[in-house]
Structure 1
Amino acid sequence: MVLIRTLYIEEGISHIVEIECDSAPGIPGIVFSGRAGKIIEESSIRVRQAIRNAYDISFTNKILINLIPSDIKKNTNLFDLPLAIAIIAAIHKISLKIEDILILGELSLSGQTKVNHSVIPHILRAKSFGFTSCLIPDEKIPLNLSIPISINKVKSLTDSWDLLINNLQNKNKIKNTIEKEKINENKNFYITKTTFKDSLISNNFLDSDVEYDFKDYKGGLLLKRALLISASGFHSLYLLGPSGTGKTLLSIMFKDILPPLLKKEQYELIDLYSQYNIPFDVNQSTRPYRNPHHSSTIISMIGGGTPLSIGEVSLAHHGVLVLDEINLFNKKVLESLREPFEEQKVTISRSKYKVTLPSSFILFLISNLCPCGNYGSLKRVCTCTEDQRNLFLSHISNALKDRIDITMTCSDESIKDNNDIDTKSMRNLVIKAFEKQFFRFFDSDIVFNGKIYKTEIKKYIHLDSQLENYLFEIMRKIGQSFRKVEKVIKVARTIADIEDHKEITKEDIIESLFFVTGFKY
């Protein structure tokens, strides 16, 4: 009797699966029980041939395989390797019980292991399920990931079998007999409070290449300031203006000033992307940048379907989601963004359970001011009526507008700034503000000022009573919602971080009021 304990992830939910295997008299073949999916059933052909080519073994008995628990349908090709090992042991009547070694991998017909990036989230979760080591194909594991278990890489079924049998007979424990890679063993991926630079994926942020430089944009210093604040504190942004004023170009330049990923953020993204077999460069230090087409559906934006597909709001996690020409998007699609954006997660209901996916991102909206695109231009004449303009701008609801932190209008007037700030200078300000937030939120899941939950604003942001009264009085006069008050406070905190103010000043509040509400003091 053979028993191998392994891990199965379905739509983000982890399940422990026990593979029981035994041989019995009967027609040679492999018989599954325990709700094996089509992929696993098809793997029997592949596994059987891999065993024959690797060991020249003839199947003379029936092989019985039971997958526990039987109430969960298993559908993965990562069970090839544990199934092959279980079958070899059953054929040779070897009693084998493996419970603390996570064995996963796909096999070719020749018995070689195949690289499959979906193995990464299993490794990341292995320790929490009691595994002490992993046996996987020769996978590219990012060296900056701190995984507190040993990882054994194998290139073939024969390597795997030799490793297990030779060492399990020696106190039933894997030792360093073949290629083995330990990645920061017994260390957590959360870094110490004194090492901000060590917590970043890359320290080349200031000098990395850019597609376009902010010094070449002549649209005004206020627009650059708005983008600087947004990037520094992860604040949502809404750019309006006539066509041809560089709104789309600003969104492209914006991604170049976003701070690099923290290691713990990269950890989450690798886990998320790998679950759904979406390529993710394990050495990527830049934040996700998503710019979906205006024909996107609710499912493509939020996620869902059968099988479950991940939506743009989750693909943009820890990054930016740009919706250009927002008036061309389906109104229902735009309204579906409200909850995932505010709650920083999206919950998708399935028939028997719910799947929760992360969605903490910067929402970057871009729109013209009228259907013809000329309204607000100093060089072209708008041909739209006032009713057409009002109807055009009403496509985005007040409820969604109310959730936007910073709103700015672009002009087609070429403005020569007194102080042309370039991308490198903006990056320098962003990284300094990011470092302040890093220490402020070190003991929490929050990373940026713009993502503080409303119940925790007073915990992390101090505003003296005089400034608070001043703010509430202005907001009352201009008729703004309480949600906007919270946004003014969070944006003011980011401005204070950029200006190196320990506490929020009146000047920070005044500037924040302008960017959030348009109010000029």
Structure 2
Amino acid sequence: MSLAVVRSRALAGMAAPAVQVEVHLANGLPSVTLVGLPEAEVKEARERVRAALINCGFEFPQRRITINLAPADLPKESGAFDLPIALGVLAASGQIPIEALADTEFAGELSLSGELRPIRGALAMAYAVSRESAAEREPRFILPQASAAEAALVSGVKSTGARTLLDVCAHLTGTVPLDTVLAAGTVGQAAAYPDMADVRGQAVARRAMEIAAAGGHSVLLIGPPGTGKSMLAKRFAGLMPSLTEEEALESAAVLSLVGRFDPHAWRQRPFRAPHHTASAVALVGGGSSPRPGEISLAHHGVLFLDELTEWDRRVLEVLREPLESGRIHISRAARQAEFPARFQLVAAMNPCPCGYLGHRVKACRCTPDQISRYQGKLSGPLLDRIDLQVEVPALSESELLSAAPSEPSSAIAERVNAARERMLARQGRLNALLDEGDVRTHCTLRPQADEMLRRAMSRMAWSARTVHRVLKLARTTADLAGSTDIDAPHLAECVQYRGVLNAA
């Protein structure tokens, strides 16, 4: 038979749609035609496959070869189609049995010697397959060895790894079967987060980080240089519980799309800290073939933006929608892709251009107009979406040198976990994710707290969004205290975290 069909996967955002690699041999002058919207790296597969087959001792058919990647309207990229194309050529020419290709999907890049090289997106492919309701049997993948270890993390997908094209062919002919890769990475390693015990003093900032970690809130740290803003941010992930299996798969699938997934970091919260010169595309994702940006790579983790006022204002504005929706939709003329972006934003900035506004010793040299313009680099709508604005003051000599060790991250994490359990038992989600109806249902104020909220709304001219965010923040504070309703002390603590900046 001169026609063979091999199943594979493309990468289109998180979808990883199915692709059929159809190989047909016909009479005529020897040629290889590749159709089906292949990108340049896919077109180059013709030469890699030819050299790999010859160097592995197979015969490359001297016939007219047509390779179709269906569906034809789906753009194809990456070298992952090398292996299915090579197997299609071998099956169409009768060198391996066609029936052995049934019910198995293949992906892998070939070297000229026939070795299989890892591909990006293997876990994303397996994750997409596991969620296809139409699958009637357990999906099977044959991938390069390293890529198969990634795919094996997805339960319900049988992942088999191979080192060379010869190994795959020996498996398909029944000569030397390949072993199924076990998901050894699911054990993972203990997260090596820095400990909060390293931070001296800063009780208010530490408390704010605890509230943010418990409820999933965003936080902005404001203070002079060297007061511990970056230290607090780098220790924030250590206050959060380990990822659930579903969250870990979602996070790992996004990282796999750009080749950044590390099996040793399985179920650990990602921490992303892009430089302030990053572009909007680097932050939210994009490109002619849309790929995830930093906000998606921080999915279910922490996005730390240091020197926030040094960022281009237009770049920061693109954060507004993802902070609300938890997703980013990228549209290009020929491509559309949607990526998850449920991250916790931790940002840090100086209070003024010289950095010493409010410093206990050093005098600020900035004029009021300079301070206003500096803080005005952050728009009101963006600040409105940041739940906590926290001052991180400079420490005195005694606080810095003689203070006792602070509370460790493990003790804070216990309180955070307990508060999260209360939230999930009550409403099934974190407080930061409550919608307007949930706020009315679950954020019940006692009389004194209700009166305090009304006075704060009148004095500070809060928007409706700000009021809802303060209520959700107060609900988290009450959960940390084990309280059913929101009392005046819970609300008072949250009011102090609003309006630290003039722009707020």
Name the TM-score class by shorter chain: 0.7 to 0.9
Structure 1 segment 112-151 matched on structure 2, within 5 A: 112-127=115-130, 128=132, 130=135, 132-139=139-146, 141=149, 145-151=153-159
Instruction: Tell me if the contact between 1:321 and 1:364 (Cα under 8 Å) persists in the aligned partners.
Output: yes
Structure 1 segment 82-97 matched on structure 2, within 5 A: 82-92=84-94, 96=98
Letter in 2 for 1:428: E
**Counterparts in 2 of 1:464 and 1:146: CA distance versus 1, 3 Å:** same
Structure 1 segment 186-335 matched on structure 2, within 5 A: 209-211=192-194, 213-214=196-197, 216-219=199-202, 221-281=203-263, 283-335=265-317
Instruction: Tell me if the contact between 1:231 and 1:259 (Cα under 8 Å) persists in the aligned partners.
Output: no
Distance in 2 (alpha carbons) for counterparts of 1:21 and 1:70:
14
**Counterparts in 2 of 1:308 and 1:132: CA distance versus 1, 3 Å:** closer
Which residue of 96, 105, 110 corresponds with 2:108?
A: 105
Identify the residue that residue 160 of structure 2 maps to in structure 1: 152
Question: Could you tell me how far 1:457 is from its partner in structure 2?
Answer: 3.1
Question: Could you tell me how far 1:325 is from its partner in structure 2?
Answer: 1.9
Structure 1 segment 34-113 matched on structure 2, within 5 A: 34-92=36-94, 96=98, 98=101, 100-113=103-116
**Counterparts in 2 of 1:95 and 1:113: CA distance versus 1, 3 Å:** closer
Letter in 2 for 1:476: M
Summarize deviations over 1:106-132 as a string: whole Å, max 9, x none: 222232322224222111222416372
Distance in 2 (alpha carbons) for counterparts of 1:437 and 1:67:
48
Indicate the SS of the match to 2:9: strand
Instruction: Tell me if the contact between 2:96 and 2:169 (Cα under 8 Å) persists in the aligned partners.
Output: no
Question: Could you tell me how far 1:279 is from its partner in structure 2?
Answer: 4.0
Question: Could you tell me how far 1:379 is from its partner in structure 2?
Answer: 0.2
Task: Verify: 1:31 aligned to 2:14, yes or no.
Answer: no
Bigger shift: residues 480-489 or 418-427: 418-427
Summarize deviations over 1:102-161 as a string: whole Å, max 9, x none: 121222223232222422211122241637222222235359934213222223323322
Task: Verify: 1:4 aligned to 2:9, yes or no.
Answer: no
Indicate the SS of the match to 1:141: helix
Distance in 2 (alpha carbons) for counterparts of 1:398 and 1:28:
65
Task: Verify: 1:355 aligned to 2:337, yes or no.
Answer: yes
**Counterparts in 2 of 1:320 and 1:283: CA distance versus 1, 3 Å:** closer
Distance in 2 (alpha carbons) for counterparts of 1:424 and 1:377:
31
Question: Could you tell me how far 1:436 is from its partner in structure 2?
Answer: 3.2
Task: Verify: 1:20 aligned to 2:19, yes or no.
Answer: no
What runs of 5+ residues in structure 1 fail to find an aligned partner? 168-175, 185-199
Indicate the SS of the match to 1:40: helix
Question: Could you tell me how far 1:79 is from its partner in structure 2?
Answer: 1.4
Instruction: Tell me if the contact between 2:222 and 2:351 (Cα under 8 Å) persists in the aligned partners.
Output: yes
Instruction: Tell me if the contact between 1:118 and 1:275 (Cα under 8 Å) persists in the aligned partners.
Output: yes
Indicate the SS of the match to 2:492: helix
Distance in 2 (alpha carbons) for counterparts of 1:455 and 1:54:
64
Indicate the SS of the match to 2:265: coil
Distance in 1 (alpha carbons) for counterparts of 2:62 and 2:143:
29
**Counterparts in 2 of 1:209 and 1:96: CA distance versus 1, 3 Å:** closer
Q: Determine what percentage of the aligned residue pairs are the same residue.
A: 27
Identify the residue that residue 195 of structure 1 maps to in structure 2: none
Summarize deviations over 1:362-417 as a string: whole Å, max 9, x none: 22222222212221011011122222212221111111111111112122243758
**Counterparts in 2 of 1:109 and 1:494: CA distance versus 1, 3 Å:** same
Bigger shift: residues 24-33 or 393-402: 24-33
Task: Verify: 1:435 aligned to 2:443, yes or no.
Answer: no
Identify the residue that residue 187 of structure 1 maps to in structure 2: none
Identify the residue that residue 164 of structure 1 maps to in structure 2: 172
Letter in 1 for 2:456: M
Instruction: Tell me if the contact between 1:371 and 1:389 (Cα under 8 Å) persists in the aligned partners.
Output: yes
Letter in 1 for 2:128: R
Indicate the SS of the match to 1:55: coil
Identify the residue that residue 408 of structure 2 maps to in structure 1: 422
**Counterparts in 2 of 1:10 and 1:202: CA distance versus 1, 3 Å:** closer
Indicate the SS of the match to 2:16: strand
**Counterparts in 2 of 1:312 and 1:329: CA distance versus 1, 3 Å:** same
Identify the residue that residue 171 of structure 1 maps to in structure 2: none
Question: Could you tell me how far 1:344 is from its partner in structure 2?
Answer: 1.4
Indicate the SS of the match to 1:515: coil
Distance in 1 (alpha carbons) for counterparts of 2:484 and 2:188:
27
Letter in 1 for 2:474: A
Distance in 2 (alpha carbons) for counterparts of 1:236 and 1:63:
56
Distance in 2 (alpha carbons) for counterparts of 1:298 and 1:270:
23
Distance in 2 (alpha carbons) for counterparts of 1:19 and 1:242:
59
Indicate the SS of the match to 1:408: strand
Letter in 2 for 1:152: T
Task: Verify: 1:474 aligned to 2:476, yes or no.
Answer: no
Which residue of 431, 438, 446 corresponds with 1:449?
A: 431
Distance in 1 (alpha carbons) for counterparts of 2:58 and 2:18:
32
Task: Verify: 1:463 aligned to 2:449, yes or no.
Answer: no
Bigger shift: residues 472-481 or 295-304: 472-481
Distance in 2 (alpha carbons) for counterparts of 1:146 and 1:40:
27
Indicate the SS of the match to 1:492: helix
Question: Could you tell me how far 1:357 is from its partner in structure 2?
Answer: 1.7
Q: RMSD of the TM alignment (CA)?
A: 3.0
Which residue of 354, 376, 381 corresponds with 1:372?
A: 354
Question: Could you tell me how far 1:226 is from its partner in structure 2?
Answer: 0.8
Instruction: Tell me if the contact between 1:17 and 1:68 (Cα under 8 Å) persists in the aligned partners.
Output: yes
Question: Could you tell me how far 1:500 is from its partner in structure 2?
Answer: 2.6
What runs of 5+ residues in structure 2 fail to find an aligned partner? none
**Counterparts in 2 of 1:35 and 1:354: CA distance versus 1, 3 Å:** closer
TM (norm. structure 1) is 0.84
Question: Could you tell me how far 1:164 is from its partner in structure 2?
Answer: 2.8
Distance in 2 (alpha carbons) for counterparts of 1:471 and 1:203:
47
Question: Could you tell me how far 1:419 is from its partner in structure 2?
Answer: 9.5
Bigger shift: residues 380-389 or 498-507: 498-507
Distance in 1 (alpha carbons) for counterparts of 2:95 and 2:219:
65
TM (norm. structure 2) is 0.87
* Alignment size in residue pairs: 486
Moved over 6 A (4+): 200-203
Identify the residue that residue 193 of structure 1 maps to in structure 2: none
Distance in 1 (alpha carbons) for counterparts of 2:73 and 2:424:
44
